Amino acid sequence: MLKKILLLFFCFALSLSCLMPCVYAAPITSGAQSLALMEKETGTLIYAQNEHEQLEPASVTKVMTLLLVMEAIADDRLHYEDMLSVSDHAASMGGSQVYLKVGEQMSVSDLIKAVCVASGNDAAVCLAEAVAGSEESFVERMNARAKELGMNETHFLNCTGLPAEGHVTSAYDIALMSRELILNHPDIRNYTTIWMDTLRNGTFQLANTNKLIRFYDGATGLKTGSTDSALYCLSATAERDGMELIAAIMKAPTSAERFETAKNLLSYGFANYTLVDVYPNEALPTIPVNMGKKGSVQPIFSSRDKILMEKTKVSTVEKSMELEESISAPVEEGQPIGTLTITSEGKTLTTIPLVAGESVDRLSYWDIVQKILHEALFIA
């Protein structure tokens, strides 16, 4: 039986600025056709408008290209210092490019820079071929990865976002793949936060197509896109006070409108939401172990997740902890032994399992005999 041994009610201390009323009470006005605002840590969708509508993403497609490249680097299948040779196919790409020549060699690091800063289609294809052998095979991996991430409105036909009938995604799916990239591959910031840089030993100038990098406080990326049919798209990321947000904008009528919409979405999120650490500062009490080689076990949290909350509701958070009175050996590390429940205004926000922090073996017959003899000698 679980017995409630601890019930704590508390208010989370926040700065005065965190207790300010919502700045954006009304829905965000935008000429963009589809919008989504997501928090990175929890994946919570904060604001959305037509977020599941299938539309052309243009070069925002390259978020998935970059994700697969960064996963290849993480898996040691590709390295930043690797020198790649440009194929005929990569060099033939139109649209945004860094004008790679057939046979030219460029490092993986510089090619990633070319994709993130200048949206180079030729650089994207060169990286795709290095990861999968061909763009066609790479696109198969893009679609497989999209399916794994739950991107149900997405179908890729190339790794660049160049116009192709049936090459579509949604604002929600853009937020999903953007979250996966920035959550698990934070090194991408080394490239997405560049405002101006060069390639080819300083002879080729780069300027970031994402103007928020220079003009929005806390901007961390991520990728722009535009074609005549897709109009103006953007996945914009920014971080303030330890919280990173993703704003996905699709089919804005002008470039200025997509950036203004992104700023409004991000500012709305930062003004109204915060990440709350729900874990108590004090150590958790140990639990007695019956017939164990150790007399007790230390419970720990199974995860260290935070909760996304409206700032105006932070003071309503309450938590209750339930732990087993005792448990019998053997105890396995990670074995459930309690729960921490977080509520607000009578509604359960989350329940976090408490688990055994270590294994405890059961006493053997010989252990019991030795223990009895030891106690008898001690008493004597």
Residue positions annotated with a catalytic role: 59, 62, 119
3 state DSSP class of 146: helix
Q: Which two tokens stand for residue 83?
A: 């020198």
**Axis-axis angle for helices 62-74, 135-148 (nearest 10):** 90
Dihedrals phi, psi of 343, to nearest 5 degrees? -130, 160
What is the biggest distance separating any 2 CA atoms in the chain, rounded to whole angstroms? 94
Whether 306 and 276 have beta carbons less than 8 Å apart is answered as: yes
Name the one residue in this structure whose structure tokens are 């490239």.
191
Nearest to 68 by CA among 141, 14, 117, 164: 141
Nearest to 102 by CA among 117, 119, 84: 84
What number of H helices and E strands is found in the chain? 10, 19
Whether 245 and 238 have beta carbons less than 8 Å apart is answered as: yes
Angle, alpha carbons 88-89-93 (nearest 5°): 115
**Axis-axis angle for helices 62-74, 108-118 (nearest 10):** 160
Name the one residue in this structure whose structure tokens are 């300027």.
207
Name the residue type at position 182: I
3 state DSSP class of 354: strand
**Cα 250 from Cα 120, distance rounded (Å):** 20
Whether 330 and 259 have beta carbons less than 8 Å apart is answered as: no
**Axis-axis angle for helices 121-132, 62-74 (nearest 10):** 40
